[in-house]
Amino acid sequence: MSDPAARKPRRWPLSLDRIGLPASAPGERTMTTADAQTLRPQRPLSDALREANRQRAAPVPQSDLQAFRQNMVLRLRQAGCQDERVLAAMNVVPRHLFVDSALVAQAYEDTSLPIGLGQTISKPSVVARMIELLRHRPGGADLARVLEIGTGCGYQAAVLAHVAGRVVTIERLRGLHDRALRQLAPLQLPGIELVYGDGRLGHGPAAPYDGIIAAAGGHDLPAAWLDQLARGGRLVAPVHDPALRSQVLMVVDKLGDGSIVQRIHEAVRFVPLESGTSDFGHS
Ligand code: SAH
């Protein structure tokens, strides 16, 4: 039997020639081409619900869920993820516990799913890609302290908790913050702090952070994030690129001397980074 990995074209991480990035010197700002493959953490709610209705009749046995999760990790590996810590984390975090019970059968597909209040849980490949980028900062030391903007259902925070010493995660929608608290509690992960607030302001009390990761994209990178990034730290965030008229994944390093180096990676499509907080959905 031939090796499926050998048959499949390498999709991820995208090679520089596929995303139109010249290998640039540190500090140079590089652009993606308009035809760059777009990582879409979301997909239309209607798709997910149509699929859910198709599957609703059959509850999924635990053993199947574990096998689905292992398959998800295998696919991430075949697609090019080489970070064993990220793969190990994704192999243990039960993504199906973070989605609506009607969507459990789809929890390990490489797809985003609705989590309520118009928001979505990011695709597994996007979560893996962003955390791998976050970990591979210059100097390469383990992440002691990470700030996540956009807790959503809490899945990515749970994965982060397996690769970082302490995770502070902020959500601006009270309903989702409450839900993430409930969903994370049974996992008993040490070192996660959930904050209800406007992530554009970061979270001063636990700063500085070795890593900052955003699950929502704005037109700029808030100044607070750069202020709260430690020297030697890395920020990974979607941000709108006016030249491309789309969101791109931005990686920003704060070097030991405090200078900033930023690089643009592939095109992405995340939910918008909003300002302020909302009590909507508070239970
Ligand atoms: N990491 C999440 C993805 C959630 S989607 C997961 O694993 O499920 C992005 C989230 O960012 C949404 O819940 C949205 O409400 C939140 N968000 C948008 N703007 C924000 C802001 N300014 N501060 C905090 N959260 C924000």
Ligand 1 centroid distance, CA of 5 (Å): 34
Q: What is the pLDDT of residues 205-235, one digit of tens each?
A: 999 999 999 999 999 999 999 999 999 999 9
Q: Which residue has the higher pLDDT, 280 or 40?
A: 280
Full DSSP string of the chain: ---HHHHSPP-SSPPHHHHT---PPTT------TTPPPB-S---HHHHHHHHHHHTTSPPPHHHHHHHHHHHHHHHHHTT---HHHHHHHHHS-GGGGS-GGGGGGTTSS--EEEETTEEEPPHHHHHHHHHHHHS-TT-PPEEEEEEE--TTSHHHHHHHTTEEEEEEEESBHHHHHHHHHHHGGG--TTEEEEES-GGG--GGG--EEEEEESEEBSS--HHHHHHEEEEEEEEEEEEETTTTEEEEEEEEE-TTS-EEEEEEEEE--EE---S-B-TT--
Residue 108 resides in a domain: no
> Would 52 be classed as within a structural domain?
no
Domain extent at residue 189:
13-41+122-268
The residue from 112, 122, 125, 275 that is catalytic is 122
Q: How many domains does the chain have?
A: 1
Best mutation site among 271, 277, 282 for ligand 1 pocket (most ligand atoms within 8 Å of CB): 271
- What is the CA(107)–ligand 1 centre distance, in A? 19
Whether 99 is in a domain gets the answer no
57 in a structural domain: no
Mind listing the pLDDT tens digit for each residue in 123-133?
A: 999 999 999 99
Q: Is residue 46 part of a domain?
A: no
Residues near ligand 1 (Cβ within 6 A):
115, 119-122, 149-150, 152-153, 155-156, 170-173, 176, 198-200, 215-216, 271, 273-274
Residue 164 belongs to domain with CATH number = 3.40.50.150
Residue 53 is assigned to a structural domain of this protein: no
8 vs 82: which has the higher pLDDT: 82
- The answer to whether position 107 is within a domain reads no
- Binned at pLDDT 50, 70 and 90, residue 46 comes out as low
